[in-house]
Structure 1
Amino acid sequence: MGGIIWLASYPKSGNTWVRTFLHNLLLNATRPADLNELTKFTIGDGNKSWYEHVTGKPFDSFSAEEIAALIPKVHRAYAQSRPDSVFVKTHNMLGKVHGVPLITPEFTAGAIYIVRNPLDVVISLSDHYGMSIDGGVVMMNDKEAYSAETDRKLPDYLSDWSSHITSWQAMEKSRLHLMRYEDMLYKPEKTFGDLAKFLGLKPPKERLRRAIKFSSFDESRKQEAQKGFSERSDKAEKFFRVGKAGQWKTTLTPGQVEAIVDVHHDVMKTFGYLPK
């Protein structure tokens, strides 16, 4: 493809799972790839070091407007960091900040978007950000929602769950590949096979199955237990919590379910997420 292939999702929707699969598929190793080496393979959008790299100046010297103005230059650096396409993980919506696109069209080859039932997302999201589930519901329903800035990373501009998805759906259909977390769980060979096809890859079945096995939730959880995971939030005990679908049925209150469905009914219906 050439250029950036964005790995986009609302937080805690399966982005790391897809990155791990791609890492294992493309390496074609005989043992699972090291989770803590994902950043060598996939760039994380919003890392402050890239802003310093393209300017030669300390990050703290920039105003918010100057940071926004640098986004296209940073994205150009992403694109030029590999001879062919480069995968970049992002939780940003497809929108603008200070009038500047968060996703620069000029350097974008395509996008893989991962969607997950918001009733399950809110549980993982709340744990990840160290907030109550009620707080997570408020965040996912807020059109102005963003993640907190850290010492290494800029905030992600999320908007609400539905707006995040529909913003990315506005991308040209031939350049967008959409995946459901639940299909990754229950139909892995077809779902990950379709992803490979979108990328123009034709891996033999055995290679595809091995990459699926090496990127499984159990394997990732085992690696995190043995050596930790650099992307775990300091507010969460684990990054890889449960890795299942439908946890909301025994975790959320009827009021919490209603609060999410009321705001996101239409998009949930589109993806088959409305409670029966």
Structure 2
Amino acid sequence: MGALIWLSSYPKSGNTWLRTFLHHLLINPPAPLPPDSLGRFTLGDNHRIWYDKAAGTSTIGFEEERISALRPRAQALMTGAFPDSVFVKTHSMVGQRHGAPLINADVTAGAIHVVRDPRDVVISAADHYGLTIDQMVAQMADPNAVIGGNANQVQTWLGDWSSHVTSWTGRAGPGLLAVRYEDMEQKPLKTFGAIAAFLGLRPPKDRLERAIRFSSFKVLQNQESQHGFGERSRHSARFFRVGKSGQWPGVLTAEQVRLIETRHADVMKRFGYR
């Protein structure tokens, strides 16, 4: 049994890329692994099975308040999934719902949070959720935004983009590493090396480089084409769509850019996006 290490991000900000890198770094396979094998390596904090275990019964049909009350217990049960530290993917913000924490600090060892330029996030997220860009701009500004909620997943509380990022990164400390998507792309050896070091790992350079290479966007696209990926949205032709930073100047209108930059100016400036 081990404490939880959160792999957190706003949706479509590089969470799957991070998980894929860690998967290959720790397993060190001779060839790239299919994307769906991630489920054997990391848990998802919204998977209903943990809430069913916490409740001792099916939670389908439970109102939000009952789910919120179960969340700390469900996350505590996740610590038993593996004997050592347990990596858990989340798109949740940090905060409370109905008096219960969204993230159970009592069973948490640390967190890696991936941040991406919201002007690029909005393009990728709109495609993933089947929304127009205008609709996604509005969702990223909505403090009450939620995603999910079906037979297999409970709802995830996003909040607005700025609050989401700040909730994870507002307090610096030894248990948190914040990384930028753009640095993962443009400075991979330095950025992924820092991720490994944060986890107390000192892999040989060739092993680190292989994990970076096996989790590259081109490889992920090829793997998805060959094997599929269960996390692909029904709204999208593929999960790994473009994967490049700086798409927004040729896609967003001037008004869409203005709305994003005005609403999220402070956090964008903090992370070097303004």
TM class by smaller structure: over 0.9
Residues in 2 aligned to 1:2 and 1:208: alpha-carbon distance in whole angstroms: 24
Give the residue type in structure 2 aligned to 1:116: R
1:178 aligns with 2:178: yes
Sequence identity, in percent?
Answer: 53
Alpha-carbon shift at residue 172 of structure 1 (Å): 5.2
Three-state SS of the structure 2 residue aligned to 1:177 is: strand
Q: After superposition, what is the alpha-carbon deviation per residue over 1:178-206, rounded to whole angstroms, capped at 9, x for unaligned?
A: 11000000000000000000000000000
1:192 aligns with 2:192: yes
Residues in 2 aligned to 1:115 and 1:172: alpha-carbon distance in whole angstroms: 15
Three-state SS of the structure 1 residue aligned to 2:146 is: coil
Give the residue type in structure 2 aligned to 1:97: R
- TM-score (structure 2 length as normaliser): 0.97
RMSD: 1.3
Greater displacement, 193-202 / 55-64: 55-64
Q: After superposition, what is the alpha-carbon deviation per residue over 1:52-82, rounded to whole angstroms, capped at 9, x for unaligned?
A: 2233311225332221111111111111221
Matching residue of 2:209? 209
2:60–2:151: 8 Å Cα contact kept in structure 1?
no
Counterparts of 1:82-231 in structure 2, within 5 Å, are: 82-171=82-171, 173-231=173-231
Q: After superposition, what is the alpha-carbon deviation per residue over 1:75-117, rounded to whole angstroms, capped at 9, x for unaligned?
A: 1111122111100000000011111100001000000000000
Greater displacement, 102-111 / 233-242: 233-242
Residues in 1 aligned to 2:22 and 2:15: alpha-carbon distance in whole angstroms: 11
2:145–2:160: 8 Å Cα contact kept in structure 1?
yes
Can you give the 5+ residue segments of structure 2 that lack an aligned partner in the other structure? none
Equivalenced residues, count: 274
Residues in 1 aligned to 2:106 and 2:266: alpha-carbon distance in whole angstroms: 31
Matching residue of 1:74? 74
Q: After superposition, what is the alpha-carbon deviation per residue over 1:26-61, rounded to whole angstroms, capped at 9, x for unaligned?
A: 001111122111011000111111112233311225
Can you give the 5+ residue segments of structure 1 that lack an aligned partner in the other structure? none
Closer/same/farther in 2, CA of residues 76 and 171 from structure 1, 3 Å limit: farther
Residues in 2 aligned to 1:71 and 1:148: alpha-carbon distance in whole angstroms: 15
Give the residue type in structure 1 aligned to 2:185: L
